[in-house]
């Protein structure tokens, strides 16, 4: 588990440097990204008692992965960019038998509150939300690595400049990603390179 955490931190650092080479010292509000994504997560779960709503499980998982990106970044900043220290710290947080709510919406609230109060990822509510979404650590790793490849692909194709086309052939890039990733062995050493190449081959831009 620690090796997978370390790999995810390495990937996150690489992506962040691609967007902003001085990201560690830039003072980006990663905590704000966490609570805003938490609000989007709540929308996909449903919270309006005055209308019928269905849980969009696939979107819930994707929002949790986005939150994980920002949580990794916040921990790297806290550890001064020390990847191994960040991996050890996050592993220790994951192993603590801390209290989490049993209600999904209460855990989303707790996640947002922790981000606003402590300016980092609240591990107990995050793990509880992952479990509620039927997503284990290995699933988190697989989906994160795939989304990280897509995020790099977006940056390489003009996402920051506003020229990237997010919808291809009537489907969003996340849907193409899920289809392409499912056809590749995620544990393989060449998974990231093969997935990037598959996105490149399909992208119309």
- In terms of Cβ atoms closer than 10 Å to its own Cβ (0-12, 13-18, 19+), residue 133 is buried
Task: Quick: pLDDT tens for 82-100.
Answer: 999 999 999 999 998 777 7
Give the phi and the psi of residue 172 in degrees, each rounded to 5: -70, 155
Task: Quick: pLDDT tens for 142-181.
Answer: 899 999 999 999 999 999 899 999 998 888 898 898 889 8
DSSP code of residue 184: S
Task: Quick: pLDDT tens for 5-20.
Answer: 999 999 999 999 999 9
Q: Same domain, yes or no, for 97 and 147?
A: no
Q: Same domain, yes or no, for 158 and 127?
A: no
Q: Same domain, yes or no, for 110 and 202?
A: no
Q: Same domain, yes or no, for 73 and 128?
A: yes
Classified as helix, coil or strand, 171 is strand
Q: Domain count of the chain?
A: 2
Q: Same domain, yes or no, for 126 and 176?
A: no
What is the per-residue pLDDT for 150?
93
| Last residue in a domain, options 133, 168, 195 | 133
Q: Same domain, yes or no, for 129 and 146?
A: no
For residue 187, name the pLDDT band (cuts at 50, 70, 90): confident
Q: Same domain, yes or no, for 5 and 96?
A: yes
Global pTM reads 0.88
- 188, two tokens: 């393989």
CA neighbor of 149 nearest in space, from 173, 171, 121, 127: 173
Task: Quick: pLDDT tens for 104-152.
Answer: 999 999 999 999 999 999 999 999 999 999 999 988 998 999 999 999 9
| Last residue in a domain, options 111, 133, 155 | 133
- Measured CA to CA, the distance from residue 173 to residue 67 in angstroms comes to 18
Q: Same domain, yes or no, for 54 and 126?
A: yes
| Last residue in a domain, options 133, 153, 176 | 133
Q: Same domain, yes or no, for 97 and 177?
A: no
Q: Same domain, yes or no, for 3 and 51?
A: yes
> What is the extent of the structural domain holding 9?
1-133
């Amino acid at each position: 588990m620690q090796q997978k955490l370390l790999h995810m931190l390495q990937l996150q650092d690489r992506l962040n440097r691609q967007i902003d080479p001085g990201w560690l010292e830039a003072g980006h509000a990663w905590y704000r990204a966490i609570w805003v994504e938490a609000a989007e997560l709540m929308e996909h779960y449903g919270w309006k008692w005055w209308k019928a709503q269905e849980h969009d499980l696939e979107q819930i998982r994707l929002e949790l992965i986005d939150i994980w990106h920002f949580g990794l970044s916040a921990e790297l900043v806290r550890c001064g960019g020390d990847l191994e220290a960040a991996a050890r710290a996050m592993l220790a947080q994951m192993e603590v038998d801390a209290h989490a709510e049993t209600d999904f919406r209460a855990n989303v609230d707790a996640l947002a509150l922790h981000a606003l109060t402590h300016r980092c990822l609240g591990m107990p509510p995050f793990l509880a939300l992952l479990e509620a979404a039927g997503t284990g650590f290995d699933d988190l790793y697989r989906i994160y690595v795939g989304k990280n490849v897509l995020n790099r692909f977006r940056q390489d194709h003009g996402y920051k400049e506003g020229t990237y086309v997010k919808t291809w052939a009537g489907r969003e890039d996340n849907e193409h990603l899920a289809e392409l990733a499912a056809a590749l062995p995620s544990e393989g050493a060449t998974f990231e390179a093969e997935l990037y190449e598959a996105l490149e081959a399909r992208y119309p831009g």
